[in-house]
Structure 1
Amino acid sequence: MKIRLVNQGVFTPIEDISTTLVAPAQGFYWIDADIDDLSVLQPLFALHDLAVEDCLSEEEQRPKIEIYEGHYFIVINSIRFDDEEIFLRALNIFLGRHFILTVTKTKINELRSLKPLLWEEEVTRPDRFLYHLVDLVVDNYFLVGDRIEARIEALEEDILMHTKKSHLNEIIGLRSEILWLKKMLGPQRDVIGTLNKKDLRLIDDQLQKYFGDIHENAVKITETFETYRDLMGNLREAYQSSLSNRANEIMRVFTAITVIFMPLTFLTGVYGMNIDYLPGAHIHGASYVLLSVMAVLGFGMLWVFRKKDWL
């Protein structure tokens, strides 16, 4: 657990946590904690039992905002994409009048990226801290969205050039990830909408307008991933179409081979019969003539097929 006094973007480490119970003369306290630290933080800041229970739950938390006496409890999801799987990590936030608690199970990159931004903006209020944190989380969805789009385009090109059975598993896996993520985007958009529209006494009225800009971005993200879902459907159709085209090409080759060998088989069948009287059967060198006729016939039919673009 790290305790800092934040004043005009300057961080001052605090050793004694009891100091944070009283509002500082200037600035606010930021406590960056782990799940295990809640046993200490709950009695000190009178955190609601239901909020603490949500933090400790092993199940995935849907984004939400709960209004309690003395503090707000906000859950938003940070996103990460490693080209194969999408990861959402819950960021639990307790917002008070003179403090903000961030409680996570794993490290959140946005919390590390936030520090220089707070210094640059000279942040002195916890609600302003909340605004910049939510803005960073939402902006990261755009970056992940760009990577997912690039992955879809690369997969589409690979399918059209070299269709493999493994492509179907990739399509199904990525589509499932996108559908699952889309279910989480709706509640997160609504949470940001609440920060924008609802009368919240711990958030400055002027600052709520800025949350409106984040809400617009959250709506765009939701629409973007809706588009990705449709693209995955088109990608699956392209995969099926590519397989069908490949099968048709193979059948065309097999059909051409069969047609070419039909007259050759006929000739070998006729002159392979055990009959004494066949035209030219007893002529010296007749076998070479027959082989030449068969070769000319085979290559001639192949030339005709290529000329008509049947092969």
Structure 2
Amino acid sequence: MKARLVQNGIFTIIDDITQTITQPVSGFYWIDARVEDLSILQPLFHLHDLAVEDCLMEEEQRPKIEIYDSHYFIVMNSIRFDDEEIFLRSLNIFLGKHYIITVTRQKINEIRTLKPILWEEEISAPDYFLYHLIDLVVDNYTIVADRIEAKIEKLEEDILVHTKKSHLHEIIGLRSEILWLKKVLVPQREVLAALNKKELRLISEPLKKYFGDIYENAIKIAETFDTFRDLMGNLREAYQSSVANRANEIMRIFTALTTIFMPLTFITGIYGMNFEYIPGLHWEYGGVAILIFMILVGLTMLLVFRKKDWL
């Protein structure tokens, strides 16, 4: 757990956590905590039992905002796209009048990248801290959406060039992840709508329009994922069509080869009969002549098929 006094974007480390109970002369306190630190923070800041219970739960939390007497409890889902897999990590936020507490189980990139923004913007209020943090969380969804789009385009190109069985597994897996993210975006969008439209005394009125801008971005992201869902359906159709075309191509080749060998089989069948008088049977070069004749018949049929574009 790290406690900092934030004044005009400048951080001052606080060693005594009890000092953060009292409102500072200027600025606010930011406490970056782990889940296990809540046993210390809850009695100090009178954090609501239900909010603390939500933080302690192992399973993934649904994005939401809860309004309590002295503080707000906000849950957002941070997104990561590592090694072609998508991960969601819960970001729990307690917003008070003179403090903000971020509680996480794993490291979240947005918290790390937030610090230079706070310094550049000279932030001195917890609600502005909240705005920049949520803005980064939503922006990361845009970055992930761009990477998913690039992956879809590459998958489409691979399917058109050379279809593999593994492509179907990729399509099914990617479609499942897109649908999963779509379900996450709906409640997250509701949280942003509440921050934009609700009467919240801990969030200054001028800041609400900025939350409205984030809300619009979240809507665009949700629409993008709707498009991705349709594209995955098109990819699956393209895969099935490519597989069918490939099967037809193989059958066409096999049919042509079978057709070529039919007259050759007919010739060998005739010379395999037990008749005493067969043309060329006792000729010294009869076997060679028949072989040459069979090769010429096969090549002639092959050229005819190529000319008619059957092969």
Q: Distance in 2 between matches of 1:108 and 1:98?
A: 23
TM-score (ref. length: structure 1): 0.98
TM-fit CA distance, 1:178 = 1.1
Question: Does the 8 Å contact 1:9/1:119 carry over to 2?
Answer: yes
The answer to whether structure 1 residue 169 and structure 2 residue 169 are counterparts is yes
Matched with 2:255 is 255
The answer to whether structure 1 residue 50 and structure 2 residue 29 are counterparts is no
Q: Distance in 2 between matches of 1:60 and 1:208?
A: 28
Q: CA RMSD in A?
A: 1.0
Question: Does the 8 Å contact 1:127/1:202 carry over to 2?
Answer: yes
Write the mapping of 1:230-269 to structure 2, written as runs, cut at 5 A.
230-269=230-269
Q: Which runs of 5+ in 1 are unaligned?
A: none
TM-fit CA distance, 1:233 = 1.4
Matched with 1:155 is 155
Q: Which runs of 5+ in 2 are unaligned?
A: none
| AA at the equivalent of 1:146 | D
Matched with 1:59 is 59
Deviates more, 1:66-75 or 1:235-244: 235-244
Question: Does the 8 Å contact 1:55/1:92 carry over to 2?
Answer: yes
Q: Distance in 2 between matches of 1:309 and 1:199?
A: 73
Cα-to-partner distance string for 1:143-168 (whole Å, 9 max, x where unaligned): 11111111111111112222211121
Matched with 1:19 is 19
Q: Distance in 2 between matches of 1:191 and 1:12?
A: 31
Q: Distance in 2 between matches of 1:83 and 1:251?
A: 39
Q: Distance in 1 between matches of 2:17 and 2:285?
A: 108
Matched with 1:79 is 79
| AA at the equivalent of 1:236 | R
Matched with 1:228 is 228
Question: For 1:26, what is the secondary structure of its paired residue?
Answer: coil
TM-fit CA distance, 1:290 = 1.6
Matched with 2:304 is 304
Question: Does the 8 Å contact 1:83/1:151 carry over to 2?
Answer: no
| AA at the equivalent of 1:287 | G
Question: For 2:175, what is the secondary structure of its paired residue?
Answer: helix
| AA at the equivalent of 2:244 | S
Matched with 2:282 is 282
Write the mapping of 1:97-108 to structure 2, written as runs, cut at 5 A.
97-108=97-108
| AA at the equivalent of 2:210 | Y
TM-fit CA distance, 1:283 = 3.3
TM-fit CA distance, 1:239 = 1.3
Question: For 1:23, what is the secondary structure of its paired residue?
Answer: coil
What is the aligned residue count? 311
Cα-to-partner distance string for 1:40-88 (whole Å, 9 max, x where unaligned): 0001001000000000001110100000011000000100012432100
Deviation >4 Å, runs of 4+: none
Cα-to-partner distance string for 1:103-123 (whole Å, 9 max, x where unaligned): 000000000000000000000
TM-fit CA distance, 1:131 = 0.4
Question: For 1:31, what is the secondary structure of its paired residue?
Answer: strand
Question: Does the 8 Å contact 1:135/1:214 carry over to 2?
Answer: yes
TM-fit CA distance, 1:278 = 2.1
Question: For 1:47, what is the secondary structure of its paired residue?
Answer: coil
TM-fit CA distance, 1:287 = 2.1
| AA at the equivalent of 1:39 | S
| AA at the equivalent of 1:7 | Q
Cα-to-partner distance string for 1:224-246 (whole Å, 9 max, x where unaligned): 11111111111111111111111
Q: Distance in 1 between matches of 2:233 and 2:143?
A: 22
| AA at the equivalent of 2:15 | E
| AA at the equivalent of 1:174 | L
